[in-house]
Structure 1
Amino acid sequence: MQTFKSLFSLVAFLALSNVACSTTPLYATVPENAAIGRNVTSVLTTSQMGEDDVQCEIVEGDEHGRFMITTCRITVARPLDYDVSPMYNLRIRKGHLLIDNAYVTVAVKSVRAEDKLCYQAFCREVSALIAVHENREHNNGASNIVRLFGVITKSTPKGVLLEYANGDLLQLLKRLKQQTERRRLGRVLLLSDVLRYAVHISRALEELRRLPIAHGDVAARNVLISGDDVAKLTDFGLARDVYSTISHAASVKTDAEELLPLKWMALESLKYRHFTCESDTWSFGVLLWEIAAFGEEPSYQEMVRLTYPNLVEFLRRGMRLLKPRGCPNRLYDVMRSCWRQEPSARPTPEELEQKLTECRHEIDLQFVEKETTV
């Protein structure tokens, strides 16, 4: 808890900076003996505006606490296919980071500081990812949260260097839906395969619960699929320390409500702006719905767009998302358990992992039985 708060304070000052998006290559030289948490200053490549300083914050170290990167070169390239951050005016581009004389592909996420909400979200994301990085030893180095390589804090553009992924879960689901419609592939069998990504994200939620940090926007659009076919939770722009007294809520009396993922939010988050690990469980239930519906947008009573008051009233009366077509009853029961009105009654991430594993096993058995009886 204290670590997250101090890290948030460390990067909160960035909100006062004047940042402009750029595609200029960035260079930073890092001493071999630099300690984790220390800032290292180098020079940005010469551009039409002249030379600027670039400062990278050290967040990666070896077993001796030394920074492993001796020289890093970040070359911003084309926008990524999964650039799905219009609500925060973030720009995500593909880049190349030089580590130990070899280039590693990274996602370079830059931010427009003139949008205060955007920059606050960026600061929260940096704080959360650093806290997750420091907690990574509990998972023996493995994680289902996107990896953080570094943070650029003293140059324009400000940015964060993240693990690169080929795409996000939402786009994958939509492609699979098209395949089932064109080729008549087994929808249920595909569902069993895609549910393993949900298992991965349940493990990510367990990582966050240990810190404890609430993500605030668990959704298919915020799940990346890595090159080794592992789902990783990303986009921590709404993340917060669940014990923090700082309010990050937008007013629902203005257009700011459009900045919040209303249909993914728990009832207590909508009504009181309470964001906890349990409210993430509610959002995870909506993520399961997205998976079962193969990327369809959640809707209540076939109303895709709902006003804030209507949604709160629907949920208060006990209305929930209907079971998607072809969704197994057992999987829908898991979703419903995530949407229990009392937060303490919702399943823990460990329970969700177990239940989803059982769902996958049951689906596979049913498919085998069906094939053997035909």
Structure 2
Amino acid sequence: MGFLFFPQTVWIPCFTICRASYNSIAILNANWRNQNGCENKTHMHTSQSPITEIPNIFKPRSARFATARRSDKDIQLTLFLFFFGLLVLLTFIWFVRKRRREIVTRRNRFSSTIRYTPAPTRSSVNIDSNDEEPHEELFYRLNRLGITYNIYKKKYEIDPLNLKVNAEKLGDGQYGFVNVGYLHNGEKRLKVAVKRSHKPHDEYEQGMFMAELTVMCAIEKHPNVLALIGGVTLTKPNKIIMEFVDEGSLLKFLDKYKKNEKDTYKELSTFDLISFAYQIAKGMEHLARIRCVHRDLASRNVLITSDGITKIGDFGLSRKYENKEYYRPRKEDPFKTFQPWLWMAPEAFENNRFTEKSDVWSFAVCLFEIFSLGDLPILNEIMRPFWKTADYLPQPKYCSDSVYEFMKLCWSENPEERPTFSECCDFFEKQLKHRSVKRFEDLERKLKKISKEHKTFKNWAGIN
């Protein structure tokens, strides 16, 4: 390296970068100005003189290319992060706008079919300081069932001041628990069952709770279906008021007999077991007639009175379906909704398709529970649907051959080969008459009496 000097100006270092290649030499010269400037003197460049970075054009080719590659990668990464973030932002905006459109559409649908009624004033209804508008889910569910809120309020809304809830618990379910309560109407008093939500402020659970209330509003009274008296929706916690059934669940009732703990119902005969099956079939026939699937039919969800009348209850999963051949849940969270898979038909378990025929399958599993006095419907103590390992459950201890053959028919793999609930009623009616016509006629009289009692429930609910 050499130096060129010019008087009164600056020193200019001359870098000679040589690259020999077959008799050719490339010489590059570059000029620097001293960082501290010059004072009309000639300066020699020393090791202490500050030198800035050599421009890129004067670097070896390999170094220039490495720098370019790093620069290109940085640009590519920046562009990727920019467009990815933009895509995420646009997706979020689309989701928010879609959700808002759904809410607006729902509200418009409500306003076109339901005339909203403001919460009753204190002059008309005595309601405590928890006064509030009914849950939006109530309007939505009523609208889907073709029931206006005004009709619901006049037929089913109950003034909470007329209701007293006791601490005595009757049962506990997936979305609520049931206590004993009393409705007051002047000097009259009616013993009832009061259901409340486990989590009254949880939106999902509250929606499922309202679904149960509204589907019970759509079910007309039947002696073998648990009757709705009314609901409390204008104050928290919301409540479902139902008729009181003194013996509780059929499963516990059967279990007491199995353990020889029952003494009030003196004796349990084959006629009684067939009678339970017949009454459950009657109640399910009523639901099928209005195109309502229960989806959770089991002996634990069937209630029984002290005189042997059975009533289908627990409508938490029950739904009405119109203009379709089957019902398929769409808004239910599979992680929050219990599915009774030991009782479920294959098409319900695997494809989420629920029809009268899927309820018939569950009915046959319920028959297994009845005629075994409450055995769990499993094979070899393995907790999985029996149809995954065998065609049928084994014949229960107290089940006749003819009844067992009918159960197997209900477990046909093809739903179309299963009987309807009307055919189930006919089958068990013949079984009852074959054993005792007189006892069958007595049963029918009891059912007619209950139908008359149900008509009086309308006197305990309704707010004008």
Q: Is the 8 A contact 1:71 1:99 kept in 2?
A: no
Could you state the TM-score of these two structures normalised by the residue count of structure 2?
Answer: 0.57
Identity of aligned residues (%): 26
Q: Could you tell me which residue of structure 2 aligns to residue 194 of structure 1?
A: 273
Q: CA deviation at 1:201?
A: 1.3
RMSD: 3.5
1:339 aligned residue (411, 429, 447): 411
Aligned partner of 1:94 in structure 2 is 180
Matched, 1:173 2:259: no
Shift in CA distance, 340/78, structure 1 to aligned 2, threshold 3 Å: same
2:218 corresponds, among 124, 128, 131, to 131
Q: Distance in 2 between matches of 1:358 and 1:211?
A: 25
Change beyond 3 A, Cα 1:216–1:196: same
Alignment pair present for 1:145 and 2:231: no
Aligned residue in 2 for 1:6: none
CA separation of 1:102 and 1:169: change in aligned 2, threshold 3 A: same
AA partner of residue 343 (structure 1): P
From the superposition, tell whether residues 192 and 268 of structure 1 become closer, same or farther in structure 2 (CA, over 3 Å): same
Answer with 191-200 or 286-295: which moved more. Answer: 191-200
> Is 1:109 aligned with 2:195?
yes
2:237 counterpart residue number: 157
Does the CA-based 8 Å contact 1:73-1:98 persist in structure 2?
Answer: yes
CA drift of 1:79 comes to: 3.4
Deviation track 1:255-294 (CA, whole Å, cap 9, x = no partner) reads 657x111111111000001111111111110110000110
User: Structure 1 residues 355, 68: CA separation in 2 closer, same or farther (over 3 Å shift)?
Assistant: same
Query: Over residues 160-192 of structure 1, what are the superposed CA-to-partner deviations in whole Å (9 max), with x where a residue is unaligned?
Result: 11111111111110111122999xx98xx6232
Structure 2, unmatched stretches of 5+, are 1-102, 108-115, 135-148, 438-464
2:259 partner SS: helix
Structure 1 stretches of 5 or more lacking a match? 1-8, 14-36, 46-50, 137-141, 366-374
Letter in 2 for 1:154: L
1:231: how far off? 0.9
Which protein has the larger Cα radius of gyration, Structure 1 or Structure 2? 2
CA distance, structure 1, for counterparts of residue 362 and residue 328 of structure 2: 22
Query: Which shifted more, 320-329 or 146-155?
Result: 320-329
| Match runs of 1:75-86 below 5 Å | 75-81=164-170, 83-85=171-173
| C-alpha distance in 2 between matches for 1:235 and 1:176 | 23
In 2, Cα distance between the equivalents of 1:54 and 1:199? 44
- Tell me the amino acid that sits aligned with residue 230 of structure 2: G
Query: What are the superposed Cα offsets for residues 36-88 of structure 1, whole Å, 9 maximum, x if unpaired?
Result: x988733445xxxxx32278978789xxx88898996111102333x041x33
- Structure 1 residue 241 displacement after superposition: 2.1
Matched, 1:73 2:137: no
Distance of aligned partners of 1:236 and 1:170 in 2 relative to their CA distance in 1, 3 Å threshold: same
Give 1:302 shift: 3.0
Match of 1:225 among 298, 301, 304: 304
Residues 223 and 40 of structure 1, relative CA distance in 2, 3 Å threshold: farther
The one-letter amino acid of 1:231's match is T
Query: Residues 121 and 68 from structure 1, CA distance in 2 versus in 1: closer, same or farther, beyond 3 angstroms?
Result: closer
Count of residues in Structure 1 that have an aligned counterpart in Structure 2:
299
Q: Secondary structure at the match of 2:162?
A: strand
Aligned-residue offset at 1:197: 1.9
Identify the match of residue 350 of structure 1 among 417, 422, 435.
Answer: 422
Change (3 A) 1:235 1:267: same
Q: Which gives a bigger RCO, structure 1 or 2 (Cα 8 Å, sep 6+)?
A: 1
- Deviating 4+ runs (over 4 angstroms): 37-40, 54-61, 65-72, 114-117, 361-365
Kindly provide the amino acid, as one letter, of the partner of residue 250 in structure 2: L
Q: Could you tell me whether the CA contact under 8 Å between 1:223 and 1:234 is conserved in 2?
A: yes
Given the superposition, is the C-alpha separation of residues 120 and 339 from structure 1 closer, same or farther in structure 2, using an over 3 Å criterion?
farther
Q: Answer yes or no: is the 8 Å Cα contact 2:200–2:237 preserved in 1.
A: no
User: What per-residue deviation string (whole Å, max 9, x for no partner) do you get for residues 136-164 of structure 1?
Assistant: 4xxxxx43111111111121111111111
Name the SS for the 1:290 alignment partner. helix
What is the TM-score of this pair, normalised by structure 1? 0.69
Query: What CA distance in whole angstroms lies between the structure 2 residues aligned with 1:294 and 1:59?
Result: 42
* CA distance in 1 between partners of 2:215 and 2:393 (Å): 30
The answer for the alignment partner of 2:205 in structure 1 is 118
Which secondary structure state, in structure 2, belongs to the residue aligned with residue 216 of structure 1?
Answer: coil
